[in-house]
DNA sequence: GTCTATACTGAGATAGAC
DNA sequence: GTCTATCTCAGTATAGAC
């Protein structure tokens, strides 16, 4: 086969999305793709590296779009900083474009739900994250660095969970994530960023 | 050994917290606990069921405290509904009490990061979740049901991520989750719940 | 009722022939 | 580049000792 590598990537993407990363065995992938087990290790090295490539193929255009939107919003807002709503819009909304395959969100949800995204992001998306951190810092210059970083974490967690609830059968999951839901998340997180925190708050939670 | 079961539970809790669920093998647990491999299956049935028992032992007192706080706040607010800030305080803050062992948050973070919590919650915490959903519904009677449920998901995701960033080595992780951070999350999510959403919003994200 | 010893199946990984 | 054969280790199941 001339394009064993692509065949493996396509099949892995489909199965990772349908069954999850941990639950998908390399033997399942090779039987469906009609290739040999060792071919995966030859082309990708390991199951983890195969996942990285599957994810990267999908996420790179998303990150490209994220940065384009951020560039655009920064140009529109110049010389002032971009407001937090626009920054979060640039970060969140491109995820929802599922033009490549209808299984894309399912795959992203699986990866998030299995806790694999932070590690992949750390290895591959570090520069983009830095761009957004800088923009957020400029949008909220009065906010202490640590508080700001935690708000970013809250937002990442909320977005990850939004993508996760789709594939998992969860009693309260109301509907598939959609543009409407993503917009709701932008509003939710923006409002969260603007929340006033009371650093001196105390309570007796320990009975 | 008279208390093989407790020994397994303690060792599993420690190793699950230190290494994660998937990365901890049953053989690692038994060698550290000094028991036989089959003892795990005799007492717990499977690795998954062992995890359930480890988690339940930790989370049950948390859920008890959550409901106590909710009861208390409802009594204080009667005959009106409890405000969303108080509801989220009752839900989030009890998680941060780590009086049992210093590794507790690490364990919770791991479980969340590996996407195992939704399934455990579905199996064991359903009634408590219903209590809180009802309270939130009464606090925000004007909010459409679906929008409300998504806001709950955003909050759950943010909390899970807060607990997750501790064990994972993540470039931007600023500090360990603490009471201060948990209070920040309460403020963040409360503000998010109160955010005004614009259902008619549109944008051309597809280039 | 509890626990030990052992075997079974399937996973990811690897060496080496072609 | 590809494939066969094999290695190690995982979770699981069971028979039987105490």
Predicted confidence (pLDDT) per residue in B133-183, tens digit: 999 999 999 999 999 999 999 999 999 989 887 644 344 445 566 788 999
**Higher model confidence: residue A118 or residue B73?**
B73
- Three-state SS sequence of A148-176: HHHHHHHHHHHHHHHHHCCCCCCCCCCCC
The answer to whether some atom of strand C lies closer than 7 Å to the beta carbon of A43 is no
Interface check for B118 against chain A (CB to CB < 8 A): the answer is yes
Name the CA radius of gyration of chain B, rounded. Answer: 20
Task: Decide if B85 contacts B186 (C-beta within 8 A).
Answer: yes
The pLDDT of residue A143 is: 95
Chain B partners within 8 Å of A69 (Cβ): 205
The pLDDT of residue B127 is: 92
Task: Decide if A174 contacts B150 (C-beta within 8 A).
Answer: yes
The answer to whether some atom of strand C lies closer than 7 Å to the beta carbon of B25 is no
Q: Quick check: B11 pLDDT over 60?
A: yes
The pLDDT of residue A204 is: 41
Average pLDDT over residues B18-38: 94
Average pLDDT over residues B25-36: 95
> Which conformational region is residue A20 in: left (phi greater than 0), alpha (psi within -120 to 50 degrees), or beta?
left
Q: How many CA atoms lie within 13 A of A22 on its CB side?
A: 13
The pLDDT of residue B199 is: 53
Burial class of residue A98, CB neighbours in 10 A (0-12, 13-18, 19+): middle
**Which member of B115, B122, B149 has the closest CB to residue A115?**
B115
Q: Which nt sits closest to A38, CA to C1'?
A: D3
Chain B partners within 8 Å of A151 (Cβ): 184, 188
Residue A34: Cβ within 10 Å count? 10
**Higher model confidence: residue B113 or residue B47?**
B47
The pLDDT profile of chain A, 207 residues, written as one tens digit per residue, is: 558 999 999 999 999 998 999 999 999 999 999 999 999 999 999 999 999 999 999 999 999 999 999 999 999 998 999 999 999 999 999 998 755 565 778 888 889 888 888 889 988 999 999 999 999 999 999 999 999 999 999 999 999 989 887 644 344 445 566 788 999 999 999 999 999 766 555 444 433
Average pLDDT over residues B94-105: 72
Residue window 25-64, chain A: list those with CB within 8 Å of chain B.
none
Burial class of residue B202, CB neighbours in 10 A (0-12, 13-18, 19+): exposed
């Amino acid at each position: 086969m001339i394009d064993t590598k692509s065949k493996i990537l396509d099949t892995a993407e489909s199965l990772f999305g349908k069954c999850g990363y941990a639950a998908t065995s390399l033997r399942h992938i090779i039987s469906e793709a009609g290739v040999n087990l060792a071919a995966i290790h030859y082309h990708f090295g390991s199951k983890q590296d195969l996942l990285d490539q599957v994810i990267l193929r999908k996420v790179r255009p998303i990150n490209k779009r994220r940065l384009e939107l951020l560039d655009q919003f920064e140009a529109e807002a110049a010389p002032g900083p971009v407001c937090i709503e626009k920054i979060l819009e640039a970060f969140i909304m491109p995820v929802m474009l599922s033009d490549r395959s209808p299984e894309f969100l399912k795959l992203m949800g699986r990866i998030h739900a299995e806790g694999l995204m932070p590690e992949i992001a750390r290895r591959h998306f570090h520069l983009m994250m830095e761009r957004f951190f800088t923009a957020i810092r400029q949008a909220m210059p009065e906010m202490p660095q640590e508080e700001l970083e935690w708000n970013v974490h809250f937002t990442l967690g909320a977005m990850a969970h939004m993508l996760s609830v789709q594939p998992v059968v969860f009693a309260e999951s109301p509907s598939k994530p959609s543009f409407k839901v993503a917009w709701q998340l932008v509003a939710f997180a923006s409002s969260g960023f603007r929340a006033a925190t009371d650093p001196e708050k105390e309570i007796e939670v320990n009975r």
